[in-house]
Structure 1
Amino acid sequence: MRKLVYGMNLSLDGFVAAPGDDIGWGVPSDELFQWWLDQERAIGLLLYGRKLWETMSSYWPTGDQQPGATPAQVEFARNWRDTPKVVFSSTVDKVDWNTRVVAGDAVEEITRLKAEDGEPMRVGGAALAGAAMRAGLVDEYEIVTHPVLVGGGKRFFTAVDSWVNLNLVETRTFPGGVVLARYETRR
């Protein structure tokens, strides 16, 4: 059975994007970017909602060719292109870079994918992750908190139907006062 991981950068007040989908406050240090790259290397399948797909696919297919790209950014771009991806959307119809679209029930498909053998999967996008959380499918949370209050926008956590007990498995501090807290779901 595959593990499902949900992790993103978020503001101290719990948002992954400020109003207008602004994520400019969450620029990672080189050390944090390298940590994210190391996490992504362990992922065998990326699960995206439409908005996050559009954000990622607008930059990372050629991220290694951008002027001034660091070695970690070059490797991230290559890894991103090579990693299989599933986009959950009823409006996206064309995808590239080792990707397929699922227009049907996301929870049903994620449940099916989790039942397979394989490397861990990462769910990205607050709405898609929220559906997976409510269905009890998330096994691990990687919460990377930046020291900024944005006051509104898109929340990392959505309402769940019942309590979810977690075990803290890792903490780490990064430059700029960024803090990682990694939790596993207690089953």
Structure 2
Amino acid sequence: MRKLTFAMNLSVDGYIAAPGGDLGWSVPGDELFQWWSDRVGATGLALYGRRLWETMSPHWPTADQQPGATPAEIEFARRWRDMPKVVFSSTLSAVDWNARLVTGDAVTEITRLKGEDGGPMDIGGATLAAAAMRAGLIDEYVTVTHPVLVGGGKPFFTALDTWVNLTLVDTRAFPNGVVMTKYRTRR
């Protein structure tokens, strides 16, 4: 069975985007950017909600061809393009860049994908991850907490019907006060 991880940047007060979708507070430094790039390189399949797809897909497919692209950006762009992706949306009609579109029930499809052979899966996007959380499908939670309070916006965690007990399995401090914590779901 494949492992499913929900990993995102978030503020100390628990938001992945500030009001209006502002992400300016979460720009990674070099070491954190490399950490994210290494995650993408190790991901067997990425699951995207529509909003996150619409944030990533206009930039990363050609970021390595932009004037002034750094070696790290070039590497991330290549890894992102090569990584298989599934995009969940009821409003999009097509996706590209090594992705396929799922318009049906996300929980049913994620359950099916978890049962397949293959490398680890990452899920991104708060709405999609919330459905997987409520269905008990997420095996690991990785919070990359930035030292900022944004006061509202899109929360990392959704309201749940029952507690989810977690075990801390890793921590790492990055420059500028960013802290990564990884928790495994206790079943």
Q: Same fold (TM over 0.5)?
A: yes
Deviations 1:145-171 (A, max 9, x none): 000000010000001121111111111
Between the aligned partners of 1:33 and 1:69, the Cα distance in structure 2 is: 14
> What pairs with 1:1-187 in structure 2 (closer than 5 Å)?
1-187=1-187
If the length of structure 1 is used for normalisation, what is the TM-score?
Answer: 0.98
Instruction: Kindly report structure 1 stretches of 4+ aligned residues shifted beyond 4 Å.
Output: none
1:66 Cα deviation (Å)? 2.1
CA shift at 1:65, angstroms? 1.5
- Tell me the distance in 1 between the aligned counterparts of 2:34 and 2:11: 20
Task: Tell me the amino acid that sits aligned with residue 152 of structure 1.
Answer: G
1:161 and 1:73 map into 2 onto residues whose CA distance is 40
Determine what percentage of the aligned residue pairs are the same residue: 73
CA distance in 2, matches of 1:80, 1:43: 10
2-structure distance, mates of 1:118, 1:6: 17
Alpha-carbon deviation of 1:57?
A: 0.2
Tell me the matched-pair count: 187
Pairwise CA distance, 1:38: 1.1
Deviation at 1:14, TM superposition (A): 0.3
- The offset of 1:115, in angstroms, is 0.4
Deviation at 1:73, TM superposition (A): 1.2
Which residue type is aligned with residue 99 of structure 2?
T
Q: Deviations over 1:105-155 (max 9, x none)?
A: 000000000000110011000000000000000001110000000001000
Structure-2 separation of matches of 1:160 and 1:68: 44
Q: CA RMSD in A?
A: 0.7
* Structure 1 Cα separation of the partners of residues 161 and 120 of structure 2: 25
Q: Normalising by the residue count of structure 2, what TM-score does the alignment of the two structures yield?
A: 0.98
